[in-house]
Chain A
Amino acid sequence: MSKNAKNLIMDTRRRAVGGIAESAGKAVLFCITAIPTVAVVFIIFFIAKEALPFFGDISHLKEFFTSADWRPSADPNPHFGALSIFYGTAMVTAGSCAVAVPLGILTAVCLNEIVGSKTAGFFKPLVELLAAVPSVAYGFFAIIVFAPLLQNHGGAILSALLFAAGVPVAAIAALPVADFVSARFTKNARLRKISGFLFSAVCAASVGCGALSLSSMEISSGTNALNASIILAIMALPTIVSISQDALASVGRDMREGSLALGATRFETIFKVVLPCAKSGIAVAVILGLMRVVGETMVVWMASGNSLKIPEPFYNFFEPVRTLTATIAGEMGEADQSTGSARYHVLFAMSFCLLAGGLALNAASQWVGSGFKFRKK
C-alpha cells in the first residue's frame, strides 16, 4: 500500500476518536434539544409548587371557583373568590371569537379561493403585519384611541359596524331560507325569485332597523368587555387567517374541480366541499387563535376595565370585566414577591389554571391537527 493511500484510510484510533466526537456532538445536540422539554417540566413544576400552598386547602379551592369575593390582601379575612375573574376571561374570549372566527375564516376563504394570487400576495403581508404588531401597541390603541371613541360615540360606531356587517349577512342568509320555504308552495320560478328578494329585503331591513336603534345608546365606560373583545379579535385574526388558509390550500384541486364539474357554483363548492375537507385544519386555526386570546395579557389589562363584578345581565358587553392574565399582571407587582404571601400563592394558582387551559388547548390542537395531517396525505 502506498503512503498516500495509507493517509486516506483512517486508522482505527482516528476512527474511534471521530466516533466518540460524533456521538459526543450528538449528545450535546440532544441535550440542547431537550431544553424545551426541561423548560416545560420546570414551568409546570414551579407554577404548581407555588400554587400548591393555596390549592392544598380545600376550603380555599371551593371559594376560588364558586365565589366572586376577591379580597386577597384583606387582613385578617382574605377572600379568594375568582369566579368573576374566570367569567371575565370566558366572556372576553367568547366575544373575540364571535368576531374573529367568522371574519378570519371568511378572509382565509377569500384569500385562497376567490381573489387572484396577486391580490392575495398583496393582502397576506398585511395580515402578517397584524401579527407582528406587539400586543402592548394593541393595548395602547385600545385604551388611548378606541376607549374614548367608544365612550363618546359608542352607539354610532356600533350601529355602523352592525349595519355594515349585519345587513348583507342577513340579506344573504335570508335567500336560501326563502328559497327553501317557497319551494314548498309554488313551482313558479319568477314568483319564487320575487318572494326570495322580498324576504331578504325584509330581513335586511329589520337588522338595519335594529342597528339604527343602537345609535342612541350610551356607553358609560370605554374600557369594557366589548373593547377588549374587538381588539383581541384583531390580534387573533392573523393566526386564524394564516392557518385556515394553509388548511384550505391543502385541499386538493381535484375536489374543487369535481364539484365545479358537477355544476355547483363556487359558493356551493366552498361551503359543501372545500370547507368540510379543511375542517380539522380550520379547527386547529380556531384553537390556536383561542390560545392567543386566552393567554393575552396587555390588551385585556389595559382595555377591559379591570372591574371585579360579573356584568349585569351576564351578556352585557358594555361593562368592564377582569381576566386572569390581567389579575396576575396587575397584582403580582403588589404581592410580596419574594417571601410568598397568600396573595402570591393565589396568583400562582390562577396562572396554574391558565397554564392548564393553555396546555389543554394545545393538546386539543395537536389532536385535531393530527387528523388534519392524516387527511392531507
Chain B
Amino acid sequence: MNNTSTRKILDASFTALAYSSLAAVAAALALFLFPIFFNGAGAFIFRATVEHEKFLHENLDADLSESEKKAISESDAARAPLYKMMREYESPPNAEKLRDRLAKSYKESVEAIGGASVEILGALDKKAPERAESIRNISKKLWEPYLSTVRESVQESAKNGTSIALSGILAENEAELAATARAELALLGKTKRLSFRQKSLVRRIVTELPSSEISAALETLESRNRAYASFRDGIAQLLGPRNKQEKEAAKLMRQKYGQTRMDTARKVLENSVLKITVKERDKSGAEFMRRVSVSEYFHGTPVEKMAEYVGKNADAMLRPHIAAYPGFLFDDPYDSSIFGGIWPMVLGTFYLTFGSMLMAAPLGVAAAVYFSEYARGGKLTHVLDTCVGTLAGVPSIVFGLFGLAFLINTVRISESKSVLAGSVTLALLVLPTIIRSCEEALKAVPNSYREAAFALGAGKWRSIRTVILPAALPSMLTGIIISMGRAAGETAPIIFTAATSTGAALAICDVFTQPTPALPWNIYNLCTEHEMAERVSHVQYGMVMTLILIVLALNGAAIWLRARLRKKMKF
C-alpha cells in the first residue's frame, strides 16, 4: 500500500475502532450490572403496602409502631365499604323475595299442568308429525307463567346484582322438575294406563322446555358469576383475605396476605382486578378466552361500582410507603420465597465456600511450596505440573458428575447430597487456581531472601516457614480470596453434590450429612421453575445482587489486601 493518506486514515480509523471495542466492553458491563443492581436494591428498599407490616408482625415478631397500627386500621376502614358491597352482591337482601316470586310462578305452572290432563292425553293420541307440534304447543302454554318470570328475573339480575342468588334458585327449580313430572305421571295414570312411550312423552311435555330454558339462563348467569369470581379472586390477591375466618382457612401464606409490594400490587390491580379473563362462546359454539375490563363487562351493575371503588381507593386500601427491609438478607423465606428473605441460601453459600477453602487453601499452599521450593524439574515434576493445568481445564459440570459418581456413589461420603460432598468437589475445582497463584507468589520472592536465610544457618523448612511464606503471604492471600469468590459463585458442581432448592437454614452440625440451599442454585431455580415468577421477581434480583456483591466484595478485599500488604513489604 503506497497511498500515504489512505494509510493515515486506516491508522486513525483503526485506533477509533479499538477505542470503541473498549467502550463496548465497558457498555456491556454497565448494561449487565445496572438492571441487576437497580432491581436488586428493590428487594431491600421498596414501596411497601400495609400487608408487608402485617406479615412482618405476624410471622417475624416485628413490633408495630403507632403510625403503622394507624395505617392498618385506616386501610381496614377503607376496605370496609368494598367488602360490604361484595357481601351484598354475594347474598343479596332481596334474594328471598326473588325466591318467593319464582316459586309462586312455578307453582302456577305446575297447577296448570295438573288441570290440563285432557289436553295432554289428547296430544298423546295424535299421529307422529302432529303430535310433536301439539306437544310443543301444550308445553309452551303451560309453562308460560314460570318461564316469563325466569326471563324477567334473568334480565333484571345483572342490574340488581342478584345473579348469584338467582342461579342458586334456578338450580333448585331444575332439580324439582323431575318430581313434578313424576307427580303428573301419577295423576294421569289414574285416568288411563300409559304405555312406556307415552310416559316418556309426558315427561317430555313436563320437563323439556323448562329444563332447556333454565340451563340457558343458568349458562348466562354462570358465565357472569365466573367473571365475578375471578374479579373476587383478584381482590383477594390484592388485599388478602376479607376476614379472620377466611384467613384461618387459607392454607398458603400467599392466601393469607395481600400484595406486600406496591409494584406487584399495581400489576395485580391492572391485570387481575380491573381487567379479567372471561370464557365466551363464538357463533359455532367453540369456547375462547377474552380479556375484558371489569367496568365494561359489568356495565351498569353493582360490580362496576366495586371496580370503580377499587380503582379509586387502591392507595387508601394498601397505604403504600417506602420501606427498608434489611431482613431480606437475614430472614427465612416463606411460601416458596414469595415472602421473607434469603438467609438459608446465603448461609449455604458461606458453608460451601468456607468448607471448600478450608480444604483447598492449605493443600494449594503446600503444593505451591513443593513446586517452587522442592521440585527439581525432571519428568515427574513435569507430569505433576501438567496435571494441575489439566485439572483447571476440566469443565465444571464434570466436577459435579465426578462428585456424584465418586464421592457420593462410591466413597459414600454421605447418604446423598451434602455440604461436605459439595465442598470437596468445589475444593478440587479451585485447587489448580490456588496452586498457580501461590506458586507465582512464591516464585516472586527474590532468591536473595532464601540465600540470606540459609546463610544465617536456617534449614530449608525453617527458611520457608519464617522467611519465604511470610514474604509471599500477601500475594498468596489475594489468590486464595479470588478463588473463594469463584467457589461462591459456581453452580454446576453443586447441583448433584450439595444443593437443594428448598429447606431451612442448616445448623453447623448438619453440614456433614445434609444438603443445603445455596444462592447460585436457588437463583437458577427461582428463575426457571417457580410457579409464580412475577411475585418473586424482586427475590430473583435481590439474590443475584447479593451473590455478585459477595463475589465482588471478596475480589475487592483481595485487591485492597494486596495493595496494603505490598506497601508494607516491597521486594
Residues of A participating in the B interface, judged by any CB pair closer than 8 Å: 18, 21-22, 25-26, 28-30, 32-37, 39-40, 42-43, 46-47, 49-50, 103, 106-107, 109-111, 113-115, 123, 125-130, 132-141, 143-145, 164-165, 168-169, 171-172, 175-176, 179-180, 183, 189, 192-193, 196, 234, 237, 241, 265-268, 270, 291, 294-298, 301-302, 325, 328-329, 332-333, 337-338, 347-348, 351, 354-355, 358-359, 361-362, 365-366
Contact of B405 among A50, A126, A165, A196 (CB under 8 A): A50
Min CB gap A224→B, angstroms:
16
Q: How far is the CA of A334 from the CA of B205 in the complex (A)?
A: 61
The answer to whether B409 touches A110 (Cβ under 8 A) is: no
Stretch at the interface among B225-233, B250-258, B320-328, B428-436: B428-436
B278 at interface by CB-CB < 8 Å: no
Using Cβ atoms and an 8 Å threshold, which residues of chain B touch A145? Answer: 35-36
Min CB gap A287→B, angstroms:
10
Q: How far is the CA of A365 from the CA of B28 in the complex (A)?
A: 28
The answer to whether B11 touches A266 (Cβ under 8 A) is: yes
The answer to whether A136 touches B13 (Cβ under 8 A) is: no
Q: How far is the CA of A265 from the CA of B459 in the complex (A)?
A: 57
Q: How far is the CA of A337 from the CA of B404 in the complex (A)?
A: 8
The answer to whether A193 touches B405 (Cβ under 8 A) is: no
Task: Report B533-552 CB contacts with A as 1/0, cut-off 8 Å.
Answer: 00001001100100110011
The answer to whether A141 touches B36 (Cβ under 8 A) is: yes
A132-B394 contact in complex given A26-B374, A109-B18, A110-B22, C-beta closer than 8 Å:
no
Contact of A172 among B10, B400, B482, B485 (CB under 8 A): B10
The answer to whether B459 touches A18 (Cβ under 8 A) is: yes
Q: How far is the CA of A143 from the CA of B544 in the complex (A)?
A: 13
Using Cβ atoms and an 8 Å threshold, which residues of chain B touch A37? Answer: 383-384, 387
Stretch at the interface among B76-84, B122-130, B521-529: B521-529
* The 5 nearest A-B residue pairs measured at CB: A134-B489, A295-B395, A362-B393, A110-B18, A37-B387
Min CB gap B281→A, angstroms:
30
Q: How far is the CA of A204 from the CA of B155 in the complex (A)?
A: 69
Stretch at the interface among B96-104, B162-170, B329-337, B491-499: B491-499
Using Cβ atoms and an 8 Å threshold, which residues of chain A touch B489? Answer: 133-137
A33-B367 contact in complex given A126-B25, A134-B548, A338-B409, C-beta closer than 8 Å:
yes
Using Cβ atoms and an 8 Å threshold, which residues of chain A touch B36? Answer: 137, 140-141, 145
The answer to whether A351 touches B401 (Cβ under 8 A) is: yes
Q: How far is the CA of A330 from the CA of B16 in the complex (A)?
A: 44
Interface residues on B, range: 35 or more
Q: How far is the CA of A138 from the CA of B555 in the complex (A)?
A: 18
Q: Which of A36, A103, A127, A145 has the most CB of B within 10 A?
A: A36
The answer to whether A110 touches B3 (Cβ under 8 A) is: no
Contact of B491 among A123, A136, A176, A355 (CB under 8 A): A136
CB pairs A–B below 8 angstroms (24 shown)? A28-B366, A43-B391, A46-B406, A47-B398, A47-B405, A50-B405, A123-B22, A127-B25, A129-B29, A136-B489, A137-B523, A140-B540, A141-B544, A179-B6, A189-B5, A193-B3, A234-B28, A297-B397, A297-B491, A302-B524, A329-B492, A347-B401, A354-B395, A358-B394
Contact of A332 among B24, B401, B537 (CB under 8 A): B401
Q: How far is the CA of A130 from the CA of B31 in the complex (A)?
A: 12
Using Cβ atoms and an 8 Å threshold, which residues of chain A touch B29? Answer: 126, 129-130
Using Cβ atoms and an 8 Å threshold, which residues of chain A touch B10? Answer: 172, 175-176, 265, 267
Q: How far is the CA of A193 from the CA of B5 in the complex (A)?
A: 7
Q: How far is the CA of A190 from the CA of B384 in the complex (A)?
A: 64
A332-B551 contact in complex given A130-B29, A268-B7, A355-B398, C-beta closer than 8 Å:
no
Using Cβ atoms and an 8 Å threshold, which residues of chain A touch B3? Answer: 179, 183, 189, 192-193, 196
B209 at interface by CB-CB < 8 Å: no
Using Cβ atoms and an 8 Å threshold, which residues of chain A touch B19? Answer: 110, 114-115
B46 at interface by CB-CB < 8 Å: no
Using Cβ atoms and an 8 Å threshold, which residues of chain A touch B28? Answer: 130, 234, 237
Q: How far is the CA of A128 from the CA of B482 in the complex (A)?
A: 11
Given contacts A46-B402, A234-B32, 16 further A-B contacts (CB under 8 A): A22-B460, A25-B461, A33-B384, A36-B390, A50-B401, A114-B18, A136-B547, A139-B524, A144-B527, A145-B35, A172-B17, A193-B6, A196-B3, A302-B527, A329-B397, A347-B401
Contact of A265 among B11, B16, B387, B399 (CB under 8 A): B11
Q: How far is the CA of A107 from the CA of B22 in the complex (A)?
A: 5
**Nearest neighbor of B367 in chain A, beta-carbon distance:** A33
B189 at interface by CB-CB < 8 Å: no
The total of interchain contacts (Cβ-Cβ below 8 angstroms) comes to 289
Using Cβ atoms and an 8 Å threshold, which residues of chain B touch A338? Answer: 409
B470 at interface by CB-CB < 8 Å: no
**Nearest neighbor of A18 in chain B, beta-carbon distance:** B459
The answer to whether B6 touches A267 (Cβ under 8 A) is: no
B371 at interface by CB-CB < 8 Å: yes
A298-B491 contact in complex given A106-B18, A126-B26, A337-B409, C-beta closer than 8 Å:
yes
Q: How far is the CA of A168 from the CA of B17 in the complex (A)?
A: 7
B20 at interface by CB-CB < 8 Å: yes
Min CB gap B391→A, angstroms:
5
Q: How far is the CA of A141 from the CA of B428 in the complex (A)?
A: 28
Min CB gap A301→B, angstroms:
8
Using Cβ atoms and an 8 Å threshold, which residues of chain B touch A294? Answer: 395
B490 at interface by CB-CB < 8 Å: yes
B115 at interface by CB-CB < 8 Å: no
Using Cβ atoms and an 8 Å threshold, which residues of chain B touch A359? Answer: 390, 393-394
B8 at interface by CB-CB < 8 Å: yes
The answer to whether B401 touches A196 (Cβ under 8 A) is: no
A103-B435 contact in complex given A137-B523, A267-B14, A329-B495, C-beta closer than 8 Å:
no
B1 at interface by CB-CB < 8 Å: yes
Contact of A46 among B17, B390, B410, B527 (CB under 8 A): B410
A325-B492 contact in complex given A110-B19, A355-B394, C-beta closer than 8 Å:
yes
Min CB gap A197→B, angstroms:
9
B271 at interface by CB-CB < 8 Å: no
Using Cβ atoms and an 8 Å threshold, which residues of chain A touch B552? Answer: 129, 132
The answer to whether B402 touches A134 (Cβ under 8 A) is: no
B177 at interface by CB-CB < 8 Å: no
Using Cβ atoms and an 8 Å threshold, which residues of chain B touch A295? Answer: 394-398
Q: How far is the CA of A107 from the CA of B28 in the complex (A)?
A: 13
Q: How far is the CA of A138 from the CA of B440 in the complex (A)?
A: 30
**Nearest neighbor of B12 in chain A, beta-carbon distance:** A267
Q: How far is the CA of A358 from the CA of B394 in the complex (A)?
A: 6
A32-B24 contact in complex given A109-B18, A129-B552, C-beta closer than 8 Å:
no
Using Cβ atoms and an 8 Å threshold, which residues of chain B touch A141? Answer: 32, 35-36, 544
**Nearest neighbor of B360 in chain A, beta-carbon distance:** A35
B446 at interface by CB-CB < 8 Å: no
Using Cβ atoms and an 8 Å threshold, which residues of chain A touch B15? Answer: 114, 266-267
The answer to whether B495 touches A325 (Cβ under 8 A) is: no
B386 at interface by CB-CB < 8 Å: yes
A333-B491 contact in complex given A123-B22, A126-B29, A297-B397, C-beta closer than 8 Å:
no
Contact of A107 among B21, B367, B389, B524 (CB under 8 A): B21
Contact of B397 among A40, A138, A267, A351 (CB under 8 A): A351
Q: How far is the CA of A171 from the CA of B523 in the complex (A)?
A: 43
- Chain B residues 20 to 45 lying within 8 A of chain A, measured CB to CB, are 20-22, 24-26, 28-29, 32, 35-36
**Nearest neighbor of A105 in chain B, beta-carbon distance:** B21
B467 at interface by CB-CB < 8 Å: no
Using Cβ atoms and an 8 Å threshold, which residues of chain B touch A26? Answer: 370, 374
B388 at interface by CB-CB < 8 Å: yes
